[in-house]
Amino acid sequence: MIDDDLKKLGNLKAPASRGAAQESAMNAAMDAFDAAQLEKKSTATQGIEGETRPTSITNTIWSGLMNSILKPVWEMKPAAMAAVAGVMLVPVVGVIALDNYELENPASFGLEKEANSSTEPAVVPSHGAIKPKKPSTENFAASGESQLADTAAEVSVAQPRVQALRQKNLGRVAKGAAPIVQDGVVLSRPSPITTTTNNERFPEFKNNGVKAVVTEPVSTFSIDVDTASYSRVRRSIMDGVLPRTDMVRVEELINYFPYSYPLPETKAQPFKPSVTIMTTPWNEHTKLMHIGIKGFDVETAEQPPANLVFLLDVSGSMSSPDKLPLLIKSFRLLLQKLNPTDKVSIVTYAGRSATVLEPTEASNRTAIISALENLKAGGSTAGAQGIEQAYRLAEENFVKDGVNRVMLATDGDFNVGISDPNQLKDFIAKKRKSGVFLSVFGFGKGNINDTLMQSLAQNGNGQAAYIDTLAEAQKALVDESGGTLFPIAKDVKIQVEFDPSKIAEYRLIGYETRALKREDFNNDKVDAGDIGAGHSVTAIYELRPVGSPAVLVDPLRYGDAKPAAAENPYGEVGFLKMRYKLPTESKSKLLSTPLVMNSPDEKKGTVSNDINFATAVAAFGQKLRGNSALDDMSYAEIADMANEAKGEDSFGYRSAFVQLARMAGSLSKSR
């Protein structure tokens, strides 16, 4: 084609397009879209499995139209070319309309989880950053601009028609209805992520019931220093929703806060139990027995050498700001608590696992931070493969008489490789024997598999925490880094025996998922919880003394196991035993002490702020779980109790709890 031909084309008036041509063009465009959609893969949970970056659907349609239509048009004579121009612009406008819809609704086309062909897929910017594309006439002759504009104005009637019908059916799309088809044109289709999906999983359990001492005098359980439940409950309330009952583990709420319990005289004994018995705030006829232990802390100079492997989830679902970006900032904070010669490695997992940082001394902050900052999210979740690789790396660089720990950070589930919880549990339990421990940190919401995270942490001799803000990362990884990284005792078990002549009934508050059989206490092969440097642990029992009107179970008519009425309800009411192992030992040690209820009973003014505050948190957790024992105590009363017992609150954790309790009260009244 020569310049004269182009000039002639520019001077010609393009005929108006016909309705049939519009419909045909739109059918072709949408059929191409449907065909492209069928070729795409989908994953049920996280990310995408593909290795290549998905291309815009408009590119597919435009390419097909240009290859099949444009080339023959250039070979036509000018008059014929002008006649075809109007018809050609119909699909062009249809494509533009579809393209604008795609850019305004990127989730409908899977753009939120693009992945490039590199090993570490890149993060795709949110749709708010994508600029709508505009039609361009730069490739056409300048002299024909006015005619082309007139023609585009005529055929643009197709776009508002399609948009209007899409708006009309928007509600059906959001509800997952079938695609809307009219005259062979697909006008709307349900997107797999137009509605929020909550795939979070928490272990279900029933509240501990009241036990009659005459038939069950002994209570045995494993200690717990996890804090994930409190952070997750807090996030739910801050989002304006009371948490699900299975999200609430009362002992984790209580143990989220540090307490100043007495320390042992020497570090040869990692902790010292202390016991306090007081009147129950929500039932004047019962007693609360607090058992508190606090592990000794270690100064930075005294820290044993550390070999840490960061096992980081970089699957497609980790791209939101409260996931991978927060994870990177959190683990950067941890570096300041390490000694210069401590080793850090980084293993990532998405569709496959990869070692992105070989063991590097903590003094080389630049290399570690660079490896963290270069992480991108994309792909599915081969978590089991990542765990295997992380343990292998930790074992290859094992530090004798030091800390060897895998630190897993994820937003949820594993959907590639070993995904069965029991298989993962067995794998990690075996690796625990090698001296490599595992801690788990959850990020984000919507996909948290708390059940699996708890199982992994418990079997890996580590802690499970949930990080929803940088302030929480500061608490878990900096302020309490000793407890997170450096164990001082493992397999810690508690066993309490009550005197049936003094105590008729008891109820352990929390620890439902940590219950042990009576015979497990003396069995060193049975795994239990671990205590890190500086950790404090609290266990609370509600006791019903013999003769109290609060006693629920009638005495037995037959049999010899009948408790005599207590002439003196005070004095020794039970016996406490604790077993633990030092981190490098396999044989447990025993601690024991009598449980004494003093006379007169401790009054509120003589009980420490720590005990009263822990009581308030215990009341809060039970009320969230719907325990009827707290029916007569309001959230406002709980908040007032906690506020009076704040004491020294250097980091503001207790003040924040008071506000959380008040907010829970407001939410409970608004339902």
- What pLDDT digit, counting tens, does each position of 234-289 carry? 999 999 999 999 999 999 999 999 999 998 877 778 998 999 999 999 999 999 99
Summary mean pLDDT of the chain: 77
Query: Is the CB of residue 357 less than 8 Å from the CB of residue 371?
Result: yes
pLDDT, residue 213, reads: 95
pLDDT, residue 448, reads: 84
pLDDT, residue 10, reads: 58
> Is the domain 211-228+261-298+488-601+622-670 a CATH 1.25.40.10 member?
no
What token pair was written down for 40? 């795409």
Q: Which of 314, 299, 323 lies closest to 351, judged by CA? A: 314
> For 433-491, where are the alpha helices, taking DSSP H only?
450-459, 470-474, 481-485
In the block, residue with structure tokens 């925490």: 465
Tell me how far apart the alpha carbons of residues 4 and 460 are, in angstroms, rounded to a whole number: 79
What torsion, rounded to 10 degrees, do the Cα atoms 280, 281, 284, 286 define? -20
Query: Is the CB of residue 87 less than 8 Å from the CB of residue 17?
Result: yes
Query: Is the CB of residue 347 less than 8 Å from the CB of residue 390?
Result: yes
pLDDT, residue 126, reads: 37
CATH number of 305-482: 3.40.50.410
Residues 6+ apart with CB under 8 A from 667: 237, 240, 241, 242
Tell me how far apart the alpha carbons of residues 326 and 306 are, in angstroms, rounded to a whole number: 24
Domains 211-228+261-298+488-601+622-670 and 305-482 fall in the same CATH topology: no
Residues 6+ apart with CB under 8 A from 242: 236, 624, 664, 667, 668, 671
**Mean pLDDT of residues grouped by 10 in the chain (671 residues)?**
56 55 56 49 37 41 47 48 47 45 39 36 38 40 40 43 44 41 44 50 92 96 94 96 96 96 84 94 96 86 90 91 96 94 94 90 96 88 78 94 93 63 80 90 88 86 93 94 89 96 96 96 94 94 94 79 62 95 92 86 70 98 96 97 94 97 93 64
In the block, residue with structure tokens 């080389």: 364
pTM of the full structure: 0.71
> For 563-624, where are the alpha helices, taking DSSP H only?
609-624
Q: Which of 315, 313, 319, 312 lies closest to 112, judged by CA? A: 319
Name the amino acid, one letter, at 358.
Answer: E
pLDDT, residue 428, reads: 86
Q: What are phi and psi of 183, to 5 degrees?
A: 55, 35
pLDDT, residue 563, reads: 57
pLDDT, residue 203, reads: 87
What token pair was written down for 346? 């980084």
Name the amino acid, one letter, at 85.
Answer: A
Tell me how far apart the alpha carbons of residues 355 and 192 are, in angstroms, rounded to a whole number: 32
pLDDT, residue 300, reads: 65
Helix (H) or strand (E) run with residue 212 in it: strand 211-212
Q: What are phi and psi of 77, to 5 degrees?
A: -75, 160
Q: Which of 384, 368, 376 lies closest to 323, judged by CA? A: 376
Would you mind telling me the total number of residues written for the chain in this entry? 671
DSSP single-letter state for residue 207:
P
C-alpha radius of gyration, the chain, whole number:
33
pLDDT, residue 15, reads: 54
> For 201-314, where are the alpha helices, taking DSSP H only?
228-238, 250-254
Query: Is the CB of residue 78 less than 8 Å from the CB of residue 112?
Result: no
pLDDT, residue 25, reads: 57
Domain boundaries, the chain: 3-188, 211-228+261-298+488-601+622-670, 305-482
DSSP single-letter state for residue 429:
H
Q: Which of 341, 357, 469, 355 lies closest to 399, judged by CA? A: 341
Query: Is the CB of residue 32 less than 8 Å from the CB of residue 166?
Result: no
pLDDT, residue 543, reads: 97
Largest Cα–Cα separation, the chain: 119
With left for phi above 0 and alpha for psi between -120 and 50, is residue 158 left, alpha or beta?
alpha
In the block, residue with structure tokens 């981190």: 583
Residue 650 exposure: Cα atoms within 13 Å on the Cβ side: 6
Tell me how far apart the alpha carbons of residues 358 and 372 are, in angstroms, rounded to a whole number: 13
Q: Which of 455, 334, 448, 309 lies closest to 392, judged by CA? A: 309
488 burial (CB, 10 Å; 0-12 / 13-18 / 19+) is buried
Tell me how far apart the alpha carbons of residues 516 and 122 are, in angstroms, rounded to a whole number: 46
Q: What are phi and psi of 220, to 5 degrees?
A: -135, 135
Q: Are strands 487-498 and 571-581 parallel, antiparallel or unpaired?
A: antiparallel
pLDDT, residue 253, reads: 98
